[in-house]
Structure 1
Amino acid sequence: MARLIVAGGGGGDAVAAAVIDRALYGADDPAVVLTYAWDRLLVDPLPGPRGADGFTGLRALTESVYAVPAEAAPVAPGGSTLPRLAGELAHTFALIDPHHGVEGMIRQLEELIEHLAPTSVDLLDVGGDILARGDEPTLRSPLGDALSLAVCAQVSAPVRLLVAGPGLDGELPVEVLRERLGAVVRTLSAEDVAPIGAVMEWHPSEATGMLMATARGVRGLCEVRDAGLAIPLTDAGPVVHEADLEAAFRRNRLAQAIGATTSLAEAERHSRAICGYSEIDYEREKAAGLRDAAPFDPDAVLRQLARFAAEARARGVTHTTFRHLTEVLGLDGGHRTALRELLLGAHPERYAAPLWRL
């Protein structure tokens, strides 16, 4: 029987959806995962999400929903992790395209529900920023989750809201999230996340990487993002909760404001009015400021890493992500694999999969 999981923020949420689907239901008959193609600039140099016209080789599922198979490819110069993800996992990854706003996304989701007749529809968010009001100063990426929340709250089918790893996205404090979370659905174990280990060797998601690490028992303080945000790795990290979807929608000012939008640009205008910014604007500014990265010099990288590690340890930091290291060391996304191989070769004992122990 078909199941459908909406990856609320795309990217790492799609990976987490595959993990949680397998943990809850087993490896047989994997769910369809509906997700954005919205990768960070280390992967995709173009700001914002890719639509269906941003790929070649998609497979039509309905009139307006396409699966992203392994043979699909992003149209240059765009990038996407979805084709490789489809090649390594048994799940079907369907593309949700927000360029026609929430109304267009509702149409896509309802078409897919009619096509699949799923036994369940879950909306998944890693970290919990989907439970925000939408205007908190600590939020960094509210738009994608608000779009997904607005869609799932209005679609003509029951949807269960799941939050994995509360606080791991660094957007809302765990103390705030705690009162908004419901029953525990699953506490992920090392066995649960083992099948995804190979994916996390290359996938850049930081929140899902920390979700996997905490399921393996990693504890400490992890520094992430270009801004160097410190995220506690605690026993709450691998826990998956249910939450009240209707209450989340009523609380989220941004989700309510964009509920009848017909374009992504319109949703962005609401985000600027309510949050003071659009995360796509941030991506545009960052993309415009990107410079050519320095050549990959292993000796220079190791020297820089030693300085960074000493400074981070002085701040109480115990772990970091390879994505953060790539940015701290001034490397581009194409150097991430080389950096990982260099560090694993030099200090294999510091690898706390998929994080790096300082």
Structure 2
Amino acid sequence: MSVPVRISIDAMGGDHGPEVVLKGVAISQARHPDTEFVLFGDESRLKAVLVSYPALAAVSRIVHTDVVVGMDDKPSQALRAGRYKSSMWRCIDAVKQHQADAAVSAGNTGALMAMAKVNLRTMPGIGRPAIAAIWPTLKGESIVLDMGASIGATAQSLVEMAIMGAAMARTIFDIPQPSVGLLNVGVEEIKGVEEVKEAGRLLKEDTHSDMRYHGFVEGNDIGAGTVDVVVVEGFSGNIALKTAEGTAKQIATYLRAAMGRTWRARLGYLLARDAFQMLREKMDPRRSNGGVFLGLNGVVIKSHGGADAEGFAAAVDLGYDMVRHQLLTRIEKSLLSRPAARAASGPAEAAVAEGQS
């Protein structure tokens, strides 16, 4: 029997509190019986919720914490008020202390990144971490990073993201040589800011067989699935993510309104119900909920703050997969094969973006 995967949970993070978080953990635990959990938060509230999930309670340990990081707290405020004692910090620290293999939180993104970076530190060869998300495409799924861990990027940090994103693609998609593209305003080599053009030159010169550099890609290439990994700096990446989520909700609203407008439309919906159900499942943001903080000495998963139980379960599932398939080991091997890139990496060039949530 395999060794259980241990996951620490910030049970107080997110918009809905432990009631939704623990329901999501219970859903994930049912899918992965070889999982154990450490739950951080208000002990009395957690015990009251766990009564409804005896199977989860049997494989969980509660650690009481008094401090909760607010969704509107700035990272600097969260560090001052919650360092060493908040449910978020203790959840991350469990990974550092080898009490857990991965940490999952639906809390404040900026605070989570700041705490994870201070506590776990970045891996050798990585200047700063990035948030990677799984993106549904016409061909299946791809990985897009950075989704907003920090603003701006040097050419070297874009190369580091490409290495980490390719390692993640090999981990979850089982692709020996993932294709990697740099998001740009055009596919021509003369277009774009200097950092992106320089990163393209460096990636083109990369001769390692663990990834294949495709070249520049545009915004429409993300959903088309042109490449397995799309690399973009955090400001643009976060805008792209929020735009896609908003567009998906807009289309769903349009469809609901159109299908109920006339009796013919309602009849058409009934006849094509299976097709609409398939579309709904493809567009369901819960399926891809969960961003991976890449570049840290530990696995940290960020769930959307407003995720429901199914959405949070997807984030826990992602943490499980990252541990089972040894994501960190794969990233380390990729970095070790590139001594020049490792030597060029310095301290983080930019601070974590303030005010993300």
Same fold at TM > 0.5: no
Taking structure 1 as the reference length, what is the TM-score of the superposition? 0.28
TM-score, with length taken from structure 2: 0.28
- Higher share of residues assigned helix: 2
Q: Max radius of gyration: which structure? A: 2
